[in-house]
A and B are shown apart, each in its own frame.
Chain A
C-alpha cells in the first residue's frame, strides 16, 4: 500500500481525461477557436454584433476597404450589405445547425445502439435492418427528399441531418455495448441483482460515453459542411437569411467579375471551425482512449 497516502479524493477517468486535454496544446488552441466561434454565434443571436447586416451601407460591390470600420474590411455585396456581417451571421447559422443536428441524432444513435447491442436477438435484427436500409440510400438523395418533404429552410436541414446521421454512431455504440455487456463488471452487477436498465445506463453507458463525446465533436463538422452544401443546392437557408452556403452560391456570379471577398469570407469562416473541431476530436480521442490505461 505504498502508493496511497498521497491524495484521498480519487481521480475519475473523466478528470484524468480533462487533465490530459489541458496539457495538449492542439486541444487548447482548437478549443479556444471553438469558444471564439461560440462567442460570435451568441453575440449574433442576441443582436450584439452584425445585427444590421441587411442594411445598405454603401455602394453595390464596393471592394475591401481597411480605412473604414470593420464592416467594410471584406467589402460590400451586390445590395451594398457588409460581407463581414454576413460571415458573422453565417457563423450563427452554422453553429445552430451543428448543435440541433447533434441534439437530434445523438440521442437516437445512443438509444438505438444501446438497445441493439445489449439485447441482441430480434431487437438487434430489427434495429440493424432499419439502419442498414437507411444507410443504403445515398445520403444526399435522402437529404434532398426530406428537405423537399419538410419544406425548404433551416428547420428542414436540421431535421433531415439529424434523422440521417445517427447511423454511424448507433453502429459504434452497438459494437462497444456488445463488448462491454459480457465484461465481468456487468456480469457482477447482474449477479448483485441489477436489472437491465441499471446495467445499460448506469454501468455500460458511462463506459462508452467517450464515443458519444468524440462523435458530438465530429458531427459538428459534418453538419456544418452539409448545411453549406444543401444551402448551395438551394435546399437550406433561403434568400433573406444569412448562410455561408448562400454566400458561396452568390460567388458563382461574382467570381466572373473578379470579386472574391464573399467566397473568401465564407471559406475562411468554415475552414477554421471545421479544422478546430477536427483537431479537437482527435485530442478528445487521445484523452479518452481507454486502451491507453488499465
Chain B
C-alpha cells in the first residue's frame, strides 16, 4: 500500500525566553492511504505541534520547522509556498479541533460556514453549495438538516457542533483528515457517536486519518497504527494491537498501566515512574505493584454514617419579561438523597450538566440549597448561621478540577497553606503555621523548600498536590473532590489518585469523588451514585454497579466507554499471566 504522507526527521523548534525548545525532535512516520494513524501522548509531548506542522500552521515566530521533510503525495510541504499551502489546506488536508465551541464562528450560521469552504475551494455557486451543505449535514447525522442549516452555533449542542466541524472538514473530500483531540471536550456517550461517525466517513470517502489524542482508550478503538510521543520524540510506533499487547518502551508500558480500567481493580495504580527513570531508561518493576487486587471494603453499618442528605433540591430561577419576574426554574439538583459512610468514598458520576458539581457545592453550602436537609455528623448544616457554618467548614473541604484556577496567583504557597490555619486559629503564630505547612507539603509529596514560591512556578500535578495540602490544612474529616483529576495527564492522574488513597488511609478521610470518568470513579470509590438530569438514577456498590447495572442510563453510559484495550490483551498486566513476565521483566 502506498503512503499518502511521509514525515522524515521532522524537528520543530520554539524560541522562548528560556532559550530554544525542541517541541518536536527528529520524528519520522508515515500515513498509508485509507488508514488511520494515531498519535498518543500527554500534554507538551509535541503531538499537536506535529499536526499544526503538517498544515504549516505553526505560529512563526516563535515556532519554526528547523529540519526534515513532510512529503504529501510526493510533494514536500516544508518547501511549499504559502499560496500552495492555501490550496491544500481545507481541500486536500483538513483538520478538526478539540473545542467545537470556539472553532466555529459565532456570528455566522453553520450552513454559511460549511458552504464557505465549498465556494472557496470547489468554486461552487451559492445554490449548489447550499445543496451540498444539506447533503453533508445529513451525512454527519444532524437531524432535519433543512431546519438546522440556518442555525447559529450557540443553538447547537457540543456534539452537534463537532458534527458540523466534521462536515466542514470533509466538505471538499480531503485525502487526509487530521483530528486533534476531537472528542476530548465531549461527554462519553457523545464521544462514542462521533468516533463511529468518523470511522463511517473514513470508509465512505476512503480518507487517511491522523488521530491525535491523550486517551489510549479512544486510540485503540479507531487507529490502525499508533505512534507514542514523549517529550517531542516518537518513542514507539507499531500496529495498534501490538502496542497494547506488547509495548516495548517503558513509557508506553507505564502509560497503559496507569490508566484505571473497568475490568481490573488494582489496589494502587501504577505510574509511569514505576516503569521508567527520570532520564527515560527502563526500570525493573516489582511484581506486587500490579498484582495486588483491591477487595471491596465491607460497607457494614459499623462504618457510621457521616453525611446524610435528604431530598436536597437546588433550583435556579430563569428571569425574563419587562419586570424581571421568574419565568421558569432550572432544576439543577432535583430531590437527591444519599448517605456517605465514615472513611469511605462515594463516587458521583454523570455527564456534563447532570448537576453533580452543583450538588457538591450545595452539600458544602457554597450554593444555598432550595430545599432539603444536609445532616453532617448529626447536625443539619442547612440550619446553621454564618458563624457556625464557618466553624463547620473546618470539617468539610473541597478540591476543585482546575489546579490553575483554584490557587490565588498573587499568594505564595506558604501564605495559601497558612491562610486556613489563620482563619481557624490553628497554630500559635505565623512561623508555627509555616512549619505546619511544611509538614503538609511533605505529606503530599512536595519539598517544603518551595513554600515561598508562587503557583505559576509549578506544574499542573504539583498544583493539585498543593490544593490537596491546603484542604488538609484545617484537618478535615470530609473532602469533596470535584473532578479533581480530570484536568491532569493520565500519568499524573494516577499519582494523584494514589495520593488520595494514601491520605484516606492515614487520616481516615471520607470522600465524595465527583467525576465524569467512570473508570476513575470505579477505581477510587466504594459506592457509586449515577446522576442524570439532576436526579440520582442508580446507587450501588462500586463493583456491582459496573457488573450489573440496573438503570437504562447507567447501561448506556457503560457501553459508551471506549472498549480501548483490545479484548485479547485483557489480563496481560494482571498477576500471574504468562505475558506479564515477558513484558515486565526485561
Question: Which residues of A pack against B, CB within 8 Å?
Answer: 1-4, 8-14, 183-185, 187-195, 198, 202-203, 206-207, 290, 293-294
Contact = CB atoms under 8 A, between A and B. Distances in A.
B419 A190 contact: no
Contact of A195 (B278, B390, B467): B390
B568 interface: no
A184 B456 contact: no
Interface string B402-414: 1011111111110
Contacts of B163: none
Chain B residues touching A, majority SS: loop
Contact of B450 (A4, A184, A195): A4
Contacts of B470: 188, 192
Contacts of A11: 453-454, 457
Contacts of B391: 193
B447 A207 contact: no
Contact of A4 (B406, B409, B447, B456): B447
B538 to A, nearest CB: 28
Contact of A188 (B400, B450, B453, B454): B400
A191 B366 contact: yes
B424 interface: yes
Contacts, number: 92
A232 B419 CA distance: 53
23 contacts: A2-B278, A8-B449, A8-B450, A8-B452, A10-B454, A10-B457, A11-B454, A12-B410, A12-B454, A184-B402, A185-B405, A188-B398, A188-B406, A192-B419, A193-B390, A193-B391, A193-B474, A195-B390, A207-B409, A207-B410, A293-B456, A294-B404, A294-B456
A193 B409 contact: no
A193 B462 CA distance: 24
B219 interface: no
Interface string B183-215: 000000000000000000000000000000000
Contacts of B456: 13, 293-294
Nearest to A8: B449
Nearest to A188: B406
B417 to A, nearest CB: 10
Contacts of A185: 405-409
B394 interface: yes
Given A10-B454, A189-B419, A206 B474 contact: no
Contacts of A202: 419
Contacts of B450: 4, 8, 10
Nearest to A187: B366
B89 to A, nearest CB: 28
Contact of B420 (A1, A4, A183, A192): A192
Contacts of A4: 447, 450
Nearest to B462: A1
A4 B400 CA distance: 25
Given A13-B410, A185-B406, A192 B452 contact: no
Contacts of A184: 400-402, 405-406
Given A188-B400, A192-B419, A195-B390, A203 B452 contact: no
A8 B412 CA distance: 12
Contacts of B462: 1
Nearest to B480: A191
Given A4-B450, A10-B453, A190 B366 contact: yes
Given A187-B366, A195-B390, A10 B419 contact: no
A165 B459 CA distance: 42
Contacts of B94: none
A211 to B, nearest CB: 13
Nearest to A209: B410
Contacts of B404: 294
Nearest to B412: A10
Contacts of A192: 393, 397, 419-420, 423, 470, 473-474
B355 to A, nearest CB: 17
Nearest to B413: A10
Contacts of A206: 408, 410-411
A212 to B, nearest CB: 13
Most buried by A among B361, B402, B406, B413: B406
A294 B409 CA distance: 9
* Most chain A CB neighbours (cut-off 10 Å) among B405, B407, B412, B450: B405
Interface string B464-494: 0001001001100000000000000000000
B16 to A, nearest CB: 13
Tell me which of A4, A8, A9, A198 has the highest count of chain B C-beta atoms within 10 A of its own C-beta. A4
B218 interface: no
A174 B496 CA distance: 37
A132 B182 CA distance: 46
B364 interface: yes
A13 B409 contact: yes
